[in-house]
Amino acid sequence: MELLNTLVDKGLRRESPTREEALAVLATADDDLLDVVAAAGKVRRAWFGRRVKLNYLVNLKSGLCPEDCSYCSQRLGSQAGILKYTWLKPEEAAAAAGAGVAGGAKRVCLVASGRGPTDRDVERVSRTIQAIKEQHEDVEVCACLGLLSDGQATRLRDAGADAYNHNLNTSEATYGDITTTHTYADRVATVQQAQAAGMSACSGLIAGMGETDEDLVDVVFSLRELDPDSVPVNFLIPIEGTPLAEKWHLTPQRCLRILAMVRFVCPDVEVRLAGGREIHLRSLQPLALHLANSIFLGDYLTTEGQAGKDDLAMIADAGFEVEGTDTTTLPAHRADALAAAGAGCGAHGEAAGGCGSAGGGCAPCGDAATSETSETPATSGTVPATPETVPAEAAPAAVPAATPAAGARTDLVAVRRRGAGTDLPPNA
């Protein structure tokens, strides 16, 4: 296809495709899917070789968030039976992070539910970062704590945070349909604060919430303009008890087209295969490695992921290799730019560059069903709390029932019951 040849040439030059070309990728036929994957794979290998970066999530504080993000199992009014617990102690979080590092993770993503951190929360997370760095000097740490206030990004960077994650999630035009308690502009401002503080910015999207192809292209082009170093691509996990529980719109083929489009628009960026990959890509996950150069290892924030050993076997069987701590994730032009900005693991702010390329990727640090972070005291304990009663005025509007996509595997959604916040060993 002439389209694919054009997109490969542009990707190798770090040149943006047109909106029409990006839309055309999403509209390709199933018969052309392998050609699309092969073309985007050329761009991926040109900038990242056959390396796969592993990232590991630690949910520092789970549940009871005051924000109303429709996709999130931790949202205001959620009836999902997830784990709910207050802040992990620094030593508990460091132990959880150690399980991921032992499994090969190069980056640890620290996530906390809530609108945004208080200054006391920032101090608490700073101690946690220091505890992790003391035990694992070479590991990258990405914080995902919600909306930041003035000065908080600098404090996190000074504490040792390498990156900050805050996803745009969907297009600006449709953002108000998903969330009403904060704005799209709030999210953009937080990513820019992280960049201004010299941290590697991580910001991505959630696909499968009922958006159009135009919405997907809009948010990816917005990401390219914002220029984060890492772009996590989440696929909605429709969890019972959330407003989007019936949104089963994705197929494995659709997911691959979305990943290919992101790679063409953001050619030299760390594209992370994030939440929902096991549920929606299923046996086609290895093909996605030809498009994304980064994945989350093990479980997500409130849902279970593929077994860590199976992730490692999948990477090896597909002919890829796990990226080591002695390798810089980003291409040299991006890594140099980020180092000049004051961070040390990626690069942003290049005027001619694509979306960026760092490995940040937490917020929802990769969990499409639980990616929102906000600020609300959580219930102590390691067992699921009874969902709080929500006033009628705060309850979400009813969402019309949707017809599941052909072949949807609704039985694959499993709420996390192990790892952080529990007495059971993690999946890593």
Q: State phi, psi for 197 to the nearest 5 degrees.
A: -80, -5
Return the closest-CA partner of residue 269 out of 46, 3, 113.
46
The single residue of 14, 257, 263, 272 carrying the catalytic annotation is 272
Residue 362 a catalytic site member: no
Indicate the residue type of 168: L
The single residue of 14, 75, 107, 109 carrying the catalytic annotation is 109
State the DSSP string of 133-156.
HHH-TT-EEEEE-SSPPTTHHHHH
Handedness of CA 86, 297, 288, 21 (dihedral sign): positive
The single residue of 69, 255, 355, 362 carrying the catalytic annotation is 69
The single residue of 65, 144, 255, 355 carrying the catalytic annotation is 65
Q: State phi, psi for 53 to the nearest 5 degrees.
A: -85, 135
Residue 144 a catalytic site member: no
Measured between alpha carbons, how far is residue 105 from residues 90, 117, 190, 328 in Å? Answer: 19, 26, 26, 14
The single residue of 107, 115, 144, 202 carrying the catalytic annotation is 202
Residue 31: strand, helix, or coil = helix
Residue 365 a catalytic site member: no
Residue 72 a catalytic site member: yes
The single residue of 14, 44, 72, 334 carrying the catalytic annotation is 72
Task: Report the alpha-carbon distance of residue 246 to residue 212 in Å, rounded.
Answer: 17
| Residue 377, number of CB atoms within 10 A of its CB | 11
Residue 355 a catalytic site member: no
- Report the C-alpha dihedral over residues 235, 368, 143, 309, rounded to 10 degrees: -70
Q: What's the residue count for the chain?
A: 428
The single residue of 142, 144, 355, 365 carrying the catalytic annotation is 142
Measured between alpha carbons, how far is residue 86 from residues 92, 122, 226, 246, 377 in Å? Answer: 12, 15, 33, 29, 7
Residue 266 a catalytic site member: no
Residue 255 a catalytic site member: no
| Residue 390, number of CB atoms within 10 A of its CB | 15
> Do the beta carbons of residue 180 and residue 143 sit within 8 Å?
no
Return the closest-CA partner of residue 249 out of 206, 313, 285, 307.
206
Query: Which residues belong to the active site?
Result: 65, 69, 72, 109, 142, 202, 272
